[in-house]
Amino acid sequence: MAIRSFFLFILFFSSSLSPVFSLYEDQVGLMDWHQQYIGKVKQAVFSSQRAGRKRVVVSTEENVIASLDLRHGEIFWRHLLGADDVIDGIDIGLGKYVITLSSGGSILRSWNLPDGQMVWESSLQGPKHSKSFLLVPTNLKFDKDNVLVVFSNGRLHAISCIDGEVLWKKDFEAESFEVQQVILPPGSDLIHVVGFAALSQFEMYQINAKNGELLKHESASFSSGFSGQVSLVSTETVVALDSTGSILLTISFQDGKISSQQTPISNLVEDSLGPAVIIPSSVSGIFAIKTDAVPIFIRVIGKGNLEVVEKTTHEIAVSDALSISEDQQAFALIQHASSEIHLTVKLAHDWDGNLLKESVKMDRQRGLVHKVFINNYIRTDRSYGFRVLIVMEDHSLLLLQQGEIVWSREDGLASIIDVTTSELPVERDGVSVAKVEHNLFEWLKGHMLKLKGTLMLASPEDMAAIQSMRLKSSEKSKMTRDHNGFRKLLIVLTRAGKLFALHTGDGRIVWSYLLRSLHKSEACQSPIGLNLYQWQVPHHHAMDENPSVLVVSRCGPSSDTSGVLSFVDTYTGKELSSLSLDHAVVQVIPLPYTDSTEQRLHLLIDADKHAHLYPKTSGALSIFKREFSNIYWYSVEDQNGIIKGHALKCKCTGEVADEFCFDTRDLWSVVFPSESEKTIATVTRKLNEVVHTQAKVVADQDVMYKYISRNLLFVATVAPKGSGEIGSVTPEESWLVAYLIDTVTGLILHRVTHHGSQGPVHAVFSENWVVYHYFNLRAHRYEMSVIEIYDQSRADNKDVWKLVLGKHNLTSPISLFSRPEVITKSQSYFFTHSLKAIAVTSTAKGITSKQLLLGTIGDQVLALDKRFLDPRRTVNPTQLEKEEGIIPLTESLPIIPQSYVTHALRVEGLRGIITVPAKLESTTLVFAHGVDLFFTQLAPSRTYDSLTEDFSYALLLITIVALVAAIFVTWRLSERKELQEKWR
Amino acid sequence: MAAVTPLLLLLLLSSAPSFSSGSRNAYNINGRVKIPQGLGLGTKGYALPGRMSNVKVLLNGGQNITFLRPDGYFSFHNIPAGTHLIEVSAIGYFFSPVRVDVSARNPGKVQAALTENRKGLSELVLEPLREEQYYEIREPFSIMSLLKSPMGLMVGFMLAVAFLMPKLVENMDPEEMRRAQEEMRSQGVPSLSSLLPGGARN
């Protein structure tokens, strides 16, 4: 298919100004795919509307509110709130509005349930920070308005459900008052606010729901104090734990009088050991505590008599209560058995009887059940049926009904931490030719259809057939390596500690694996995944091995907790091995060396600045010893504003002999003055980047040599005052300094100050240039700058002979004191949008010109040709420069809508853009991830080395046939003519 | 809804960064996004379902994000005094970012300007500068484009050779023609006819 010859000159021909990436609308979905996710569900509310489609409204940890189809799990609508706008509560008001409380209870919004249009928004202020509660009473009315009750920031609000107007508010200003529950007994006009004050005081306020008037205030003191949350067991009783976690306090405030009863946990459970915590639940009459990870369910009988109803050793998840009739509440309980989960639905007042008991087979890779939400429906025989929505450990969302999984959503993919790629297996013999022959007719038919399409002869049905044929092309989703390198596996690590392999052809999940090493355990309390590295990429002499990836994780949020390594096979998705390290992992340095089985050497730096070599094999060690003195790295200390360079010193001098552990030494350090500069961004070149030419021929036959060094580091610092948000600082007191630092010698090669500018800085480093995006406060616009760095010491090497024999920088000694002769060129341009991410295209051999990929604030990805960021642009380029492809200088960078690689789609919550070279030089694969995923193929200089997808083979065939026919016809004609000649 | 709209309008039109009743240093920014109907109707290629509900308004590069009410109004709450940047993200439209000055000295004064063309705004009403067309328009099929394609040119050349060459040959002097033919025969240069089946008869 690909005509594998590099028509280099086409590169120059293609240097017209028209957008290089452009797509016809019917090409959407041919090379790209887009997947929408929502993230781990925090709260779910079922819409109780009788008519219309059944929906469930969810809020997630990615700050998404979404309305999902209860039948299929598809998204009806979805909104991603700001990063700081964490959702505290959601509910449905009047059956048609979704009410959300967010930003620590300070923003209340109402959304139209059918289409997701925001109806109103209210800002709720208050005297102090507190817990927030959102209550939507069904029958509380105020002048015909339905009322919402919101407690947030130490203030109780009653808000109209129709327009968001605050009807009344009441402050709880008492200094130490901490609200624990806001209770609305059904059918009354009272609101109970209960909480603790001064650690040992229990307070109860009774408020008139009509006008916010304080009716009663009672308090009682408990000398033993309180700990943790309270659980509401009825509208007038709460259960709390004392400060030691060993005594249960049952506090009731019937008729405004507080009475209490204390029950030591040891009275209820004989062998209880550690302090208990209350698991929040809303089932009346029952609450749950957890001691030593054992959940215990306790029933409250009468006035404060407690009774253990169940003690279980299994992992268990409980739903909130669902009222199914006037006086009946049901709740769901999920217990784990080895490969199944048991779902039971019980009535609140009847623990022993089950309304429903079902077992569902569950994929082990989904882990434990984290959350359960229950909903009921009325069956045709008028009995109650239940469906439950469960959130699993891997953040996936499943709907269970009648003992089956109705649908599932892989919402773990909304929070990707790191991405790497893996090749697919090579196609083995055995794919028969017969299959191709069988398809020949189909193939011809398809091309005839296509021809009809181009000749505008196709009927609408034909058009639909053409479109579906193009989209369903089985070629792109095969499970084998292709000649052009378009088919790969994207290996992604999610925040839930699960690895997914996605096929680049259609985005389907090939395998998924919940990392065992990221499970909570005694030794590892809160494991978090950090990074993914390519561990083994077999190509030469280890062809039979499967490629594998290395997952680096650590046991806690701080950087000095011990690390865990896991090795996962990328073909099968099985964990090959895992290592619990006895040291921390602060930095991981993949070295450019591989051992005899193609395992890449990695250097792990721990908190004590020891370097540990992996894999721990003698082969790796001997390779490492050979390159011992050539290994340098750097570290950035953000807090102190120091960048340090390191090298290896000797073997560890610890008590335990470990030949894979090495001491390190500091080589150099760059200290930024803390009163004037604060580091906000550091960027280096990609490790695997390929540079094709070192020299650049400029217009007047001159040659400029790129200063290409893998050890260049771009650092951006801002004035400490200006490190905040836009608008917090004046142009006079803000500046941005950009540095280029050599990480081996610590030499600052270039330094430039942008006065009146501030961050955030997004930068990308490639070849000999760096492009960075920042905010210019004086113009109040975003700006992008480019710095290109050239090697001046080789500038005299003008012709081939001098290039071979002349000076080059290989022989010059590398030292801090020998300054390389470099010159830099830079230029700045305005850019319209804020950025979220920036990347550059990378191709297999680095010949194809580059494009910058800008993830804009609108969650789109814009491709911008690097030629727009060329410091040699001038306002009036000369004829020679124009021929070279230099674009006249403009004040701002153009935004051409056709060059949005995401076309009319949004990659909601965009966080990162990854580019991977395909084998075909012209093409690069682009993967953008955020809450959504988007993948496409890009050809920054058009596909000059292969026929495009819309190439008409049929037209070619017809031409050939026509030519052959013409030959015969002309031959006949000539023969006849010859005959006539002879008769004459 | 109807009851509150006039009230809202009054509030918004009177002061668009308006002073809020909250704490001393926090202000509200109220504004409106207006997408002209005529502009929207021209878009044929892609439909935008729920167009208004997918519009986001972002303050200072995503520090605060808000959405539009059905009538296009939006507001940011508790914004400190200073110079801020408002961006509108709407698929299919290009909006210029807007510089908004919230001043502590004279609250309620509107200070807004489009940063793209430095046009001042008397009211915070944001309109798209232009529509964005993300797809190339397919050229309708024409004979010319077919003829211009490499294959078309090839066929054209063939036809030209097949029908014009004999004409040229006809116009030649018969004497010269014969001489040339004889020359050709004597040299044994394979002619087209000799290559083809039946050519062996000669």
| A25·B45 Cβ contact <8 A | yes
- Are residues B151 and A956, on separate chains, in Cβ contact within 8 Å? yes
B72 sits in the region (left: phi over 0; alpha: psi -120 to 50; else beta) called left
Q: Are residues A196 and A294 in the same domain?
A: yes
Shared-domain flag, residues A307 and A333: no
Token representation of residue A367:
């882990």
The nearest CA of chain A is from the CA of B193 a distance in Å of 7
Exposure pattern of A27-37 as b/e (b: 16+ CB <10 Å)?
bbebbbbbbbb
Taking contacts as CB-CB distances below 8 angstroms, the residues of chain B near A24 are 135-138
- Residue closest to B149 by CA, chosen among A956, A945, A217: A956
Q: Is B147 helix (H, G, I), strand (E, B) or coil?
A: helix
Lowest pLDDT segment from A191-205, A385-399, A612-626: A191-205
Is A822 found in the same domain as A758? yes
Bridge pairing between strands B26-33 and B125-126: parallel
The per-residue DSSP string of B72-122 comes to SEEEEEEEESEEEEEEEE-TTEE---EEEEE-SSSTT---EEETTT--EES
Contact A904 B66 (CB under 8 A): no
The residue with greater pLDDT, A941 or B168, is: A941
Instruction: List the single residue in A24, A84, A836 with the smallest CB-CB distance to B138.
Output: A24
pLDDT at A400 over 80: yes
Residue B130 to residue B134: CA distance in whole angstroms: 12
Asked whether the beta carbons of residue A857 and residue B159 sit closer than 8 angstroms, the reply is no
A188 with A290, same domain?
yes
| A117–B53 C-beta distance less than 8 A | yes
Residue A794 lies in a domain: yes
This prediction's pTM: 0.86
At residue A268, the pLDDT reads: 78
Asked if residue A787 and residue A744 are part of one domain, the reply reads: yes
Instruction: Say what the pLDDT of residue A609 is.
Output: 86
Q: In terms of residue numbers, what domain contains A966? A: 951-979
CATH number at residue A192: 2.130.10.10
The answer to whether B22 contacts chain A (CB < 8 Å) is yes
Same domain for A297 and A332, yes or no, is no
Ranges of beta strands (E only) in A103-160 are 107-112, 118-123, 133-135, 141-142, 145-152, 155-160
**What residue spans of chain B are helical by DSSP H?**
5-14, 37-41, 143-148, 150-171, 174-187, 192-195
- Supply the pLDDT for residue B103: 79
- pLDDT at res. B109: 67
Report pLDDT for B21: 40
Helix, strand, coil abundance in chain A, percent, nearest 5: 15, 45, 40
Instruction: Please state the domain count of chain A.
Output: 4
Name residue, tokens 């479109």. Answer: A467
| Percent of chain A predicted with pLDDT > 90 | 22
Q: If we measure between CA atoms, which residue out of A237, A218, A243, A333 comes closest to residue A285? A: A237
A709 and A782 share a domain? Answer: yes
pLDDT on residue A60: 93
Q: Are A783 and A776 in contact (CB under 8 A)?
A: yes
User: Identity (one letter) of the amino acid at A291?
Assistant: T
Shared domain check, A372 and A249:
no
Pick from B79, B133, B158: CB nearest A897: B133
Q: Are residues A300 and A334 in the same domain?
A: no
B143 to chain A: closest CA residue: A455
B24–chain A Cβ distance below 8 A for any pair: no
Domain-terminating residue out of A286, A313, A340: A313
Average pLDDT over residues B180-188: 72
Tokens 């300007």 sit at which residue?
B113
Note the pLDDT of residue B6: 35
Residues 6+ apart with CB under 8 A from B37: none
Greater confidence, A199 or A504?
A: A504
Q: What angle do CA A640, A642, A648 make, to 5 degrees?
A: 130
8 A C-beta contact, residue A358 and residue A341: no
Q: How far is B95 from chain A (nearest CA, A)?
A: 9
Question: What's the pLDDT score for residue A860?
Answer: 92
Is residue A247 domain-resident? yes
Q: Are residues A286 and A224 located together in one domain of the fold?
A: yes
Q: Which of residues 79-138 of B touch A (CB under 8 A)?
A: 79-80, 82-85, 87, 89-92, 94, 96-97, 99, 102, 115-116, 132-138
| pLDDT mean across residues, chain A | 83
User: Of B108, B72, B106, B109, whose CA–CA distance to B88 is shortest?
Assistant: B72
pLDDT at A407: 92
Same structural domain, A309 and A189: yes
- Nearest-Cα distance to chain B for A855, in Å, is 12
* CB proximity under 8 Å: B 147-176 to A: 149, 151, 154-155, 158-159, 162, 166
Give the start-to-end residue ranges of the domains of chain B: 27-37+52-131, 143-185
User: Looking at A276-290, A375-389, A668-682, A927-941, which range is the least confident one?
Assistant: A276-290
Single out the residue in A274, A291, A313 at which a domain terminates: A313
Q: Pick B69's closest partner by Cβ from A107, A119, A833.
A: A119
B77·A123 Cβ contact <8 A: yes
Residue of A109, A833, A970 lying closest to B87 (CB–CB) = A833
Contact: B65, A81; criterion CB under 8 Å: yes
**Whether residue A324 is found in the same domain as residue A186:** no
Residues 6+ apart with CB under 8 A from B164: none
Rounded mean pLDDT of A16-20? 47
Q: What percent of chain B has pLDDT over 90?
A: 4
Bridge partners (DSSP) listed for residue A914: A927
Mutate to test the interface with A, among B21, B65, B129, B144 (most CBs of A within 10 A): B65
Identify the residue whose tokens are 């909130």: A320
More confident residue, A345 or A427: A345
Confidence of residue B1 (pLDDT cuts 50, 70, 90): very low
Q: Does B56 touch chain A (CB under 8 A)?
A: yes
pLDDT in tens, A408-460: 999 999 999 999 998 888 776 544 333 444 567 777 777 777 777 766 667 77
State whether B138 and A977 contact (CB < 8 Å). no
What is the tens place of the pLDDT at every residue in A517-548?
Answer: 767 666 677 778 888 998 888 776 656 778 89
Q: Which of A363, A506, A557, A397 is nearest to A64 (CA)?
A: A397
Cβ of B70 under 8 Å from any chain A Cβ? yes
The verdict on residue A230 lying in a domain is yes
- As a whole number, mean pLDDT of residues B159-165 equals 78
Reply yes or no on whether the pLDDT at A768 is more than 50. Answer: yes
d(CA A745, CA A668): 7
The alpha-carbon gap from B181 to the nearest alpha carbon of chain A, in Å, equals: 12
A79 has pLDDT over 80 = yes
Helices (H) and strands (E) in chain A, counts: 8, 65
In a domain, A330, yes or no: yes
Mean pLDDT across A879-885:
82
| Per-residue confidence (pLDDT) for residue B23, from 0 to 100 | 46
Report which residue type is found at B102.
Answer: V
Q: Which residue has the tokens 């002979």?
A: A801
Query: Nearest Cα to A760, choosing from A853, A866, A833?
Result: A833
Cα–Cα separations (whole angstroms), residue A847 to A12, A689, A852, A933: 12, 12, 15, 28
B19 pLDDT above the threshold of 50: no
Mark residue A478 as left, alpha or beta (left: phi above 0; alpha: psi -120 to 50; beta: remaining). Answer: beta
Q: What's the topology of domain B27-37+52-131?
A: Immunoglobulin-like (2.60.40)
Average pLDDT over residues A143-149: 79
- Residue B23 contacts A where some CB pair is shorter than 8 Å: yes
